[in-house]
């Protein structure tokens, strides 16, 4: 029996819920939103798909106690309008700092002891607070973090070199926000270091980094939210947990040296974070990671 809870049914949460049902990934799906009308609408829209699917999913609406035996909870609550006003993911901090109290209390009261995957922005800050307030281990809680930003880097590099983005490997590290950066020393295209290719092909890596960042804002300013890419990231992480895949990828994980969550490579499996995947960064990249951590810490404080 595979059971997942989705808390927050905005564009991202609703897309995740639909994907879980349409692909038959879960047997039971708990959906929760502060807006009762929205929760009811999503519940019945999902129920109305079941007669046309090859699988069946039990839909359980608005019940924190039903999360008790869930394998995974995905938190996607938020207030997208606050980002529209200032163009910064930290714009959601004031609203979500209030919402996180209620969500954490509900999860804790349910007795949930599975894996929690957070999407809510600012991702690294909210993931840190959720872990602290719910009391789950740091291995059981992680955020989508720079998993999405790394996909955007892969897209930008792939476009520049006319390559499938899946042929691009490497990491975007740090905050899921403005202080993130591409660790170019980790990036390869079909096994070839991009730093060497950049010299041979006269690639501007700083410009590629900016293109990766701008891609997300192009989506945001065009339709006023993002949903497909981040939902796909969340689904992939959830599947890694359900199937104990030992997926190596960058997520928002707890690093002892910073005392909070930040985008960094880890291995994902049934218990959540199985292990970290330490990198040998350049001096400049390490400095950028330290600075990004400082930015997250300031917001936490």
Domain for residue 291, yes or no? no
Domain for residue 239, yes or no? no
DSSP 94-153: HHHHHHHHHHHHHHHHHT--SEEEE-PSSHHHHHHHHHHHH---TTTEEE-TTHHHHHHH
Domain for residue 199, yes or no? no
CB atoms within 10 A of CB 258: 19
Position 81 scores a pLDDT of 67
CB atoms within 10 A of CB 147: 28
Domain for residue 167, yes or no? no
Task: Tell me if 35 is assigned to a ligand binding site.
Answer: no
Q: Which domain holds residue 81?
A: 3-143
Task: Tell me if 33 is assigned to a ligand binding site.
Answer: yes
Overall number of domains in the chain = 1
Q: What is the pLDDT of residues 240-298, one digit of tens each?
A: 999 999 999 999 999 999 999 999 999 999 999 999 999 999 999 999 999 999 999 99
Identify the sign of the CA torsion 251, 252, 255, 257. Answer: positive
Residue whose pair of structure tokens reads 């300013």 in the numeric block: 221
Q: What is the pLDDT of residues 208-218, one digit of tens each?
A: 999 888 888 88
Task: Tell me if 290 is assigned to a ligand binding site.
Answer: no
Specify the range with the lowest mean pLDDT, choosing from 53-57, 176-180, 272-276.
176-180
pLDDT at 153 over 60: yes
Domain for residue 284, yes or no? no
The CATH number linked to 99 is 3.40.50.720
Cα separation of 45 and 62, whole Å? 15
Domain for residue 198, yes or no? no
User: Is 260 annotated as catalytic?
Assistant: no
Position 59 scores a pLDDT of 98
144 neighbors 234 (Cβ within 8 angstroms): yes
Domain for residue 247, yes or no? no
Domain for residue 91, yes or no? yes
Coil, strand or helix at 232: helix
Cα separation of 246 and 56, whole Å? 27
Average pLDDT, the chain: 95
Task: Tell me if 216 is assigned to a ligand binding site.
Answer: no
Rounded percentage of the chain residues whose pLDDT exceeds 90: 88
Catalytic residue among 162, 176, 192, 224: 176
Task: Tell me if 277 is assigned to a ligand binding site.
Answer: no
């Amino acid at each position: 029996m595979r059971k997942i809870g989705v808390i927050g049914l905005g564009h991202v949460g609703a897309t995740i819920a639909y994907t879980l049902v349409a692909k038959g990934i879960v047997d039971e799906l708990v959906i929760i939103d502060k807006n009762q009308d929205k929760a009811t609408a999503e519940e019945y829209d999902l129920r109305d798909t079941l007669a046309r699917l090859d699988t069946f999913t039990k839909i359980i609406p608005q019940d924190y106690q039903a999360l008790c035996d869930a394998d995974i909870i995905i938190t996607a609550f938020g207030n997208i309008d606050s980002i529209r006003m200032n163009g910064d993911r930290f714009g959601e901090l004031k609203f979500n700092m209030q919402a996180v109290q209620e969500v954490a209390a509900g999860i804790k009261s349910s007795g949930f002891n599975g894996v929690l995957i957070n999407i809510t922005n600012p991702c690294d800050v909210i993931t840190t607070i959720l872990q602290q307030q719910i009391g789950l281990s740091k291995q059981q809680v992680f955020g989508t973090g720079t998993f999405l930003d790394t996909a955007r880097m892969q897209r930008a590099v792939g476009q520049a070199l006319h390559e499938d983005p899946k042929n691009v490997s490497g990491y975007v590290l740090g905050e899921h926000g403005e202080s993130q950066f591409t660790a170019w020393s980790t990036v390869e295209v079909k096994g070839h270091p991009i730093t060497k290719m950049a010299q041979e092909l006269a690639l501007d890596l700083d410009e590629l980094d900016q293109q990766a960042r701008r891609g997300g804002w192009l989506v945001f300013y065009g339709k006023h939210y993002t949903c497909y890419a981040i939902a796909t990231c969340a689904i992939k992480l959830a599947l890694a947990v359900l199937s104990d895949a030992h997926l190596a990828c960058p997520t928002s994980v707890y690093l002892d040296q910073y005392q909070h969550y930040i985008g960094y490579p880890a291995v994902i499996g049934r218990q959540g974070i199985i292990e970290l995947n330490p990198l040998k960064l350049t001096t400049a990249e390490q400095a950028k990671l330290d600075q990004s951590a400082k930015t997250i810490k300031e917001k936490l404080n």
